[in-house]
A and B are shown apart, each in its own frame.
Chain A
Amino acid sequence: QKEVEQNSGPLSVPEGAIASLNCTYSDRVSQSFFWYRQYSGKSPELIMSIYSNGDKEDGRFTAQLNKASQYVSLLIRDSQPSDSATYLCAVISNFGNEKLTFGTGTRLTIIP
């Protein structure tokens, strides 16, 4: 069974520090990788997508992908209290239907 695994946390990080979130996936043919942020009681919102090995930066967010090791990570620099949320890792393995397989999420708390 195709799986996406995350540390459920909670992960507590001081304000201004770097938050590091990790995700591993089991399906080697996976091609597209996503990080979603979900505030309590809200729907997920896309914050990063990555398709190639290496780093991708967008503002304070950096996604890192290593297909050989089957892991993807998200770094949040200069963490803010507004970054406190659950972060969901998601993977597409089949471009024919673009089904996303989600991890269970990591709950992140930024401590002021």
Chain B
Amino acid sequence: NAGVTQTPKFRILKIGQSMTLQCAQDMNHNYMYWYRQDPGMGLKLIYYSVGAGITDKGEVPNGYNVSRSTTEYFPLRLELAAPSQTSVYFCASSYNGYTFGSGTRLTVV
């Protein structure tokens, strides 16, 4: 039981490039979330999903997209990366409490 697995752990992007942050969970949780955390700040919700095929915006969705075709996977897509998207990204799944992935540290230069 691996829990929540995020890849990659680190990435440097140039302005305007695109990438997908991968998130997978093996606990059969319906609820999944993407958060970003900037230095000295709490976590801000980007997008979430309450089940396969169902996604919704969180607090800071601009510049991101998600999909949820299966229960296990919840990838986060960054289109046209901007320096403001430099952050640490956490994926989480929930059933009676959150399980977080180890995070992806993204730098946009």
A→B interface (CB under 8 Å):
4, 8, 34, 42-46, 49, 88, 96-105
Q: Which of B42, B48, B101 lies in contact with A99, CB distance below 8 A?
A: B48
Q: What A residues does B40 contact at CB under 8 A? A: 8, 104-105
Is B43 part of the binding interface, using a Cβ–Cβ cutoff of 8 Å? yes
Q: Which one of B42, B45, B58, B97 has the highest number of Cβ atoms from chain A below 10 Å of its Cβ? A: B42
**A101: shortest Cβ distance to chain B, in Å?**
8
Q: Are B42 and A98 in contact (CB under 8 A)?
A: no
B→A interface (CB under 8 Å):
31, 33, 35, 40-45, 48, 50, 56, 58, 90, 94, 97-98, 100-103
Closest B residue to A89 by beta carbon equals B42
Instruction: Give the dominant DSSP class at B's interface.
Output: strand
Q: Are B31 and A98 in contact (CB under 8 A)?
A: yes
Q: Which of B31, B42, B48, B94 lies in contact with A103, CB distance below 8 A?
A: B42
Q: Which of B35, B45, B98 lies in contact with A46, CB distance below 8 A?
A: B98
Q: List 14 A-B contacts (CB under 8 A).
A: A8-B40, A43-B90, A43-B100, A43-B103, A44-B43, A44-B100, A88-B42, A97-B50, A99-B33, A99-B45, A99-B48, A100-B45, A103-B42, A104-B40
Task: For the complex, give the distance between the alpha carbons of A23 and B100 in Å.
Answer: 22
Closest B residue to A102 by beta carbon equals B42
Q: What B residues does A102 contact at CB under 8 A? A: 35, 42-44
